[in-house]
Amino acid sequence: MTTTSSTADPPRLEVSGLTVTFGGLTALSDVSFSVADGETVALIGPNGAGKTTVFNAVCGLVRARRGRVRVDGRPAPSSATALVGAGISRTLQGLGLFDRLTVLENVLVPLTGVRPSPGPDAAHATLDALGLGALAGVPAGTLPYPERKRVALARALVTRPRLLLLDEPAGGLGAADIDRLAGTVRDVAGTGCSVLLVEHHVDFVADVADRVVVLDFGHVIACGTPEQVRRDPAVEEAYLGVPAGESA
């Protein structure tokens, strides 16, 4: 029997044998992967592969039928309200900003109830780091989409998470904004924060991810570096719908 040294640090995120069902539908089946400290892992796959379900399981929004999710060696939070205390922060595909609140007020929202609260100073520092300092007093709903996405990212980062979940962060962005986002993700990982992202933009994934986990119909079909995954026949078949080497 193999034993693990007690002195070894657990991974920042460990997903083991995760199975999630909705009625008669199996959304995830025996999914396992991990994210180390300061590592960026991309979760990719065709639409309906189960990527968002993984995020929801990590955040306590869905209950697993089998398996476990651990963060820093401890069980993941059982509810979304416990995320900040567990060192987890997440962005949403739909942004979820409060349009009538200012940029600063939006970024302060996650700090409500945090004790001790870092308060406005942390919010201003986060906005400045993302180039949004001059927009602190502007209603979020009046901003162009790329800046709204940066506000959503600032709101996720203001709590200084140890694990950052990014749900399609490059979606709807142009080339210059994607390059800027890639730099931000690398900077965040450089602080020791682990990043798990769901993304369809292949070039962005190749630019920022240390490893890629590929899901198809709720199963992990490949895991490795971006280059290893790109050359995996199973991944090509999942995306193209035909066995690798055959003509569509």
Q: Domain 8-87+162-241, CATH 3.40.605.10 — does that match?
A: no
Q: Are strands 88-90 and 163-167 parallel, antiparallel or unpaired?
A: parallel
Output the CA–CA distances (angstroms, integers) from residue 155 to 5, 84, 92, in the order listed. 37, 12, 11
- Domains of the chain, residue spans: 8-87+162-241, 97-160
Its pTM stands at: 0.88
CA nearest neighbour of 76 among 89, 86, 61, 66: 86
CA nearest neighbour of 244 among 230, 227, 224, 223: 230
What is the full per-residue pLDDT of the chain (248 aa) written as tens digits?
Answer: 333 434 578 899 999 999 999 988 999 999 999 999 999 999 999 888 999 999 999 988 888 899 999 999 999 887 777 888 889 999 988 888 999 999 999 999 988 867 667 778 999 999 999 999 999 999 999 999 999 999 999 999 999 999 999 999 999 999 999 999 999 999 999 999 999 999 989 899 999 999 999 999 999 999 999 999 988 988 888 776 655 455 43
